[in-house]
Structure 1
Amino acid sequence: MPLDGQLSTLNRVYKDKDAQDVLEHALNNFGDMALVSSFGAESVVLLHMAAQINPDVPVLFIDTEMLFAETLEYQRDVAAQLGLTDVRAIRAKRETLFEKDNENLLHLHDTDACCALRKTEPLQRALQGFDGWVSGRKRVQGGDRQALEYFEIERPLGRLPRAKVNPLAHWDRDDLQDYIKAHNLPRHPLVAKGYPSVGCSPCTTKVKTGEDARAGRWRDQSKTECGIHFGANGAVRAS
């Protein structure tokens, strides 16, 4: 059966299953899988689930080299605490950065180009050789994510289709908070300082009471996605 047919069947079979069941199926039945994590505000939930199933799962951490210092420290602490043995820091090639953003100012006039340079291109390169990957996206995050399924097919331009799995697709913020509390998991230090969603330092601001959790990402721009996720028309950059 073609991959898209397999994934459609899995969405019917797993529609009432727990996130842990979805993740376990993905890690055990799709060949070589990677978990992609920002080690952001809610990332510890999926990382903890993965560590319970297989602490050796490859975890791809996109280090844009513009992250908050707190994120880098949190990444090291969480990986150690959960016993994750294969966390791979993914970065843009040095020569590419020198050519396209040698002064680290690209984000000031073209955020899409900056994300493509520091996130999308390095991740696509890192995913070569994997049969699919696991994402922490959720319907509650809004935009294109509102119709998110557990299992989906991704068709990156110029590359073979692959599976993408979203075990937390149906979770809301109460589910996340309950899981974190139940397992006594460490929170990203910036959450308590008003950052419910954490990205790169130059493009992330604090969120006011009553605002959407992602309102601080690329504030006052139409941009709402970094571009690492692919839809029917290519990289998704706005909902």
Structure 2
Amino acid sequence: MPLNDLEKTAASLNERYRHHSATSVLAHALRDPDAGELALVSSFGAESVVLLHMVSVARRDTPVIFLDTELLFAETLVYQQEVSERLGLTDVRVIHADRAEVARIDPDQTLNQRDTDACCNLRKTVPLQRALKPFDGWITGRKRFHGNGREALEFFEVEPGTGRLKVNPLAHWRPEDVQTYMEENRLPRHPLVAKGYPSIGCMPCTSPVKEGEDIRAGRWRGEDKSECGIHFVDGKLVRTGVNA
């Protein structure tokens, strides 16, 4: 779809569902022809179970893409299997970076120590773009309160340079909304949350967060980096310096 048409579609969808709840936005998006074929991309991280549960209620055969970078915490891999089974998700797709590319670019798995952007590109961005090729758009768990350029996030947006929509059902949620939903639905929490990890990524690049720190301060600590490259703002990788 031409970019102008896609932007018009996103604007139309935002207007149509502007006053809907997160669950309603998600349920309608999964069935609205204007949104096209969608997949949920999930890290099975600290807050992921909320959106996974909503999908399991709305349409449990929705494709769920899980990126296994092969550098994840063991707890995340176990949690992914347990949550998928508990929620009855029927189309979970575990994807990896191309083995030949990893062998060529990062044979000793030390790329994350030398160039975190290159490592994220190899293990996350490129595999995800490949996995999303069959889809018209994808569903994310991004929220305005996360900051880092997300303060004006809408339910529907155009992903720069791909011709796809991004659907953000939880865009307007506050931290307490996430906790309330998890409690009311008795959803299992990622085991690392109780150990001080409010945002969970790959093991080498994630550390516990101290009281008073930004919730993403444990991601790429000590670097001027807050995104892995999967999400962009105005076509550019976000660099806000929460860890600078």
Query: Which category of TM-score, normalised to the shorter sequence, fits these structures?
Result: over 0.9
Amino acid at match of 1:177: Q
Assess if the C-alpha contact under 8 Å between 1:11 and 1:150 holds in 2: yes
Assess if the C-alpha contact under 8 Å between 2:111 and 2:119 holds in 1: yes
Q: What is the CA deviation profile of residues 131-170 of structure 1, one whole-angstrom value per residue up to 9, with x for unaligned ones?
A: 11000101000111111110001123xx4x1111000001
Q: Decide which of 83, 88, 112 is 2:88's aligned counterpart.
A: 83
Give distance in 2, aligned partners of 1:98 and 1:232.
Answer: 33
Assess if the C-alpha contact under 8 Å between 1:136 and 1:167 holds in 2: yes
Give distance in 2, aligned partners of 1:151 and 1:204.
Answer: 29
Give distance in 2, aligned partners of 1:98 and 1:237.
Answer: 28
Assess if the C-alpha contact under 8 Å between 1:225 and 1:237 holds in 2: yes
Which residue does 2:216 correspond to in 1?
A: 214
Assess if the C-alpha contact under 8 Å between 2:149 and 2:238 holds in 1: no
Which residue does 1:192 correspond to in 2?
A: 194
Pairing 1:69-108 to 2, within 5 Å after superposition: 69-108=74-113
Give distance in 1, aligned partners of 2:40 and 2:69.
Answer: 17
Q: What is the CA deviation profile of residues 53-72 of structure 1, one whole-angstrom value per residue up to 9, with x for unaligned ones?
A: 11110000011000000000
The answer on 1:4 being equivalent to 2:1 is no
Which residue does 2:50 correspond to in 1?
A: 45
Measured after TM superposition, the shift of residue 15 of structure 1 is 2.1
Amino acid at match of 2:105: K
The answer on 1:126 being equivalent to 2:127 is no
Amino acid at match of 2:29: A
Assess if the C-alpha contact under 8 Å between 1:115 and 1:227 holds in 2: yes
Assess if the C-alpha contact under 8 Å between 1:90 and 1:126 holds in 2: yes
Amino acid at match of 1:224: S
Which residue does 2:165 correspond to in 1?
A: 163
Measured after TM superposition, the shift of residue 237 of structure 1 is 4.1
Runs of 4+ off more than 3 Å = none
Measured after TM superposition, the shift of residue 12 of structure 1 is 2.3
Give distance in 2, aligned partners of 1:75 and 1:142.
Answer: 26
Give distance in 2, aligned partners of 1:147 and 1:104.
Answer: 37
Measured after TM superposition, the shift of residue 81 of structure 1 is 0.2
Assess if the C-alpha contact under 8 Å between 2:148 and 2:238 holds in 1: no
Give distance in 2, aligned partners of 1:215 and 1:186.
Answer: 24
Assess if the C-alpha contact under 8 Å between 1:112 and 1:237 holds in 2: no
Partner of 2:93: helix, strand, or coil? strand
Give distance in 1, aligned partners of 2:60 and 2:203.
Answer: 29
Measured after TM superposition, the shift of residue 48 of structure 1 is 0.2
- Structure 1 vs Structure 2 CA RMSD: 1.1
Identity %: 57
Which residue does 1:172 correspond to in 2?
A: 174
Partner of 2:30: helix, strand, or coil? helix
Give distance in 1, aligned partners of 2:234 and 2:176.
Answer: 31
Which residue does 1:228 correspond to in 2?
A: 230
Q: What is the CA deviation profile of residues 60-115 of structure 1, one whole-angstrom value per residue up to 9, with x for unaligned ones?
A: 00110000000000000000000001111111010000000000000001000000
The answer on 1:145 being equivalent to 2:150 is yes
Give distance in 1, aligned partners of 2:53 and 2:100.
Answer: 35
